[in-house]
């Protein structure tokens, strides 16, 4: 498919390809929808196999950001930037400053923050060339607060899912398998431990699992290849997306899927199959919305404590999504998308009202 065909399929406004031969920068900035406000989305750096894979990742993730902001009652649109390169070897100050200049050229249509493969140091270089960096990246507290807020939001969403499936929101005694214990996954393990949950962890990096087990002695470690064979109440993917496919969907031994990873499903078809099997899939763009609550509606930073308080709203949002899902007898991800589209349509109509008349020179 051509780029325009893919944009039409996903409903995008703009896709920008950026190239700087002096630094080796190859970036794609996808702006999905700006009806509610500037497109907000992270900058991800990954050594994609092909240009097509990089483009599709940018398109899928930016669309998820649109839905996330709309369902979470935020005044931002959806965007995403992907840097096609090796985060272990291709980074430099000039690389990220070049990227920052491309962002600045968009005139405020895209606002970014650190994501997979990038960190606060990288974003400091970006910020030297543009102000279009989300203010919560500047730090509302100790380093890593953003991951804590996201993990706490996932915890709140899990409780809403447990209420729908088991009749109680209490996580005590629930067996939870966490796939990926990086920053978000490890904080989620801590929150779940405090709630009295039984924790099972898996990661391709052994040291990451060992750090969690050092804090939570009874956390069980399993091999990554055994993740789908592990019986549990909740499966929590907190690593890369696209992990649940038509080939492994029947292997799942859980009642709820709820994690911080984006684009967990290979396709919508997989989501429908989960629904048919009676497995509740918490929409990724709803349950991982904690990062959005680290700034106010006008993208002003808030305190860490206020961020946590705002992240609790994910429980109520998830309840509304699940109620809509039950009412319409559709998977929760489809119900959440419809709710997002409805808000965008309603606010979009209001914004046709002219507020700044042009100077006519009369």
Residues 306 and 198 reside in one and the same domain:
yes
Residues 177 and 320 reside in one and the same domain:
yes
pLDDT the model gives residue 297:
59
pLDDT tier for residue 137 given thresholds of 50, 70 and 90: very low
For residue 362, is it within any domain? no
pLDDT the model gives residue 124:
93
Kindly report which listed range (77-91, 135-149, 248-262, 286-300) carries the lowest average pLDDT score.
135-149
For residue 335, is it within any domain? yes
Q: Which of 132, 111, 140 is CA-nearest to residue 307?
A: 140
pLDDT the model gives residue 138:
40
Per-residue pLDDT tens digits for 335-350: 999 999 999 999 999 9
Asked if 163 contacts 155 with a C-beta cutoff of 8 angstroms, the reply is no
Out of 80, 91, 148, 255, pick the active-site residue: 80
pLDDT tier for residue 298 given thresholds of 50, 70 and 90: low
Neighbours of 289 (CB within 10 A): 30
Q: Is the pLDDT of residue 113 over 70?
A: yes
Map residue 110 onto helix, strand or coil: strand
Q: Which of 43, 70, 36 is CA-nearest to residue 58?
A: 43
In sequence order, the β-bridge partners of residue 17 are 28
For residue 139, is it within any domain? no
Q: How many domains are there within the chain? A: 2
Kindly report the pTM of this predicted structure: 0.88
Q: What's the residue count for the chain?
A: 362
Domain that holds residue 198: 145-344
Residues 102 and 183 reside in one and the same domain:
no
Residues 185 and 304 reside in one and the same domain:
yes
Tokens representing 341 are 């589209």
For residue 352, is it within any domain? no
The b/e string for 77-86 (b: 16+ C-beta within 10 A; e otherwise) is bbbbbbbbbe
Per-residue pLDDT tens digits for 218-269: 999 999 999 998 999 999 999 888 899 999 999 999 999 999 998 899 999 9
Between residues 358 and 28, the one the model is more confident about: 28
Tokens representing 268 are 């919508």
pLDDT the model gives residue 290:
84
Residues 202 and 283 reside in one and the same domain:
yes
Q: What is the DSSP letter of 81?
A: E
Identify the CATH number of the domain in which residue 100 sits: 3.40.50.10860
CA 59, 61, 63 angle in degrees (round to 5)?
Answer: 70
pLDDT the model gives residue 146:
79
Is residue 309 annotated as part of the catalytic site, yes or no?
no
**Considering 103, 133, 163, which residue would you say is the last residue of a domain?**
133
The residue behind tokens 């931002």 is 76
For residue 220, is it within any domain? yes
Residues 129 and 206 reside in one and the same domain:
no
For residue 140, is it within any domain? no
Summary mean pLDDT of the chain: 92
Residues 73 and 189 reside in one and the same domain:
no
Residues 110 and 165 reside in one and the same domain:
no
For residue 359, is it within any domain? no
For residue 249, is it within any domain? yes
Per-residue pLDDT tens digits for 242-256: 899 999 999 999 999
Residues 128 and 158 reside in one and the same domain:
no
Instruction: Assign residue 166 a region (left: φ > 0; alpha: ψ between -120 and 50; beta: otherwise).
Output: alpha
Residues 125 and 200 reside in one and the same domain:
no
In percent, the amount of the chain with pLDDT more than 90 equals 79
Residues 166 and 73 reside in one and the same domain:
no
Between residues 301 and 44, the one the model is more confident about: 44
Residues 39 and 159 reside in one and the same domain:
no
**CB-based contacts of 214, cutoff 8 Å, min separation 6:** none
CA-based torsion, 98, 83, 188, 169: positive or negative: positive
**Considering 110, 133, 156, which residue would you say is the last residue of a domain?**
133
Asked if 322 contacts 160 with a C-beta cutoff of 8 angstroms, the reply is yes
């Amino acid at each position: 498919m051509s780029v325009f065909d893919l944009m039409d399929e996903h409903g995008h406004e703009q896709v920008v390809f950026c190239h700087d031969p002096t630094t080796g920068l190859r970036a794609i900035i996808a702006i999905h929808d700006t009806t509610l406000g500037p497109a907000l989305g992270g900058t991800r750096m990954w050594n994609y196999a092909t240009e097509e894979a990089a483009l599709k990742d940018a398109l899928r993730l930016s669309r998820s950001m649109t839905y996330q902001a709309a369902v979470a009652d935020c005044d931002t649109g959806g965007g995403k930037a992907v840097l096609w390169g090796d985060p272990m070897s291709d980074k430099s100050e000039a690389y990220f400053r070049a990227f920052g200049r491309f962002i600045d050229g968009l005139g405020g249509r895209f606002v970014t923050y650190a994501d997979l493969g990038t960190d606060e140091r990288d974003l400091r270089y970006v910020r030297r060339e543009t102000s279009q960096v989300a203010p919560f990246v500047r730090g509302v507290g100790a380093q890593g607060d953003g991951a804590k807020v996201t993990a706490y939001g996932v915890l709140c969403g899990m409780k809403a899912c447990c209420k729908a499936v088991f009749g109680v929101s209490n996580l005590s005694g629930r067996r939870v398998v966490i796939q990926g214990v990086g920053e978000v996954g490890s904080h989620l393990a801590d929150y779940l431990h405090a709630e009295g949950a039984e924790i099972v962890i898996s990661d391709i990096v052994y040291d990451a699992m060992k750090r969690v087990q050092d804090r939570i002695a009874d956390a069980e470690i399993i091999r990554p290849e055994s993740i789908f064979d592990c019986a549990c109440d909740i499966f929590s993917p907190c690593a890369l997306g696209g992990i649940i496919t038509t080939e492994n969907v029947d292997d799942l031994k859980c009642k709820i899927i709820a994690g911080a990873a984006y684009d967990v499903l290979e396709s919508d078809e997989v989501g429908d199959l989960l629904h048919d099997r009676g497995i509740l899939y918490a929409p990724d763009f709803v349950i991982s919305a904690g990062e959005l609550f680290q700034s106010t509606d006008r993208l002003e930073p808030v305190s860490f404590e206020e961020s946590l308080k705002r992240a609790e709203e994910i429980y109520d949002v998830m309840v509304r999504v699940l109620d809509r899902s039950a009412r319409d007898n559709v998977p929760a991800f489809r119900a959440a998308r419809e709710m997002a589209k409805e808000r965008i349509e309603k606010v979009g109509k209001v914004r046709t009202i002219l507020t700044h008349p042009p100077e006519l020179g009369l």
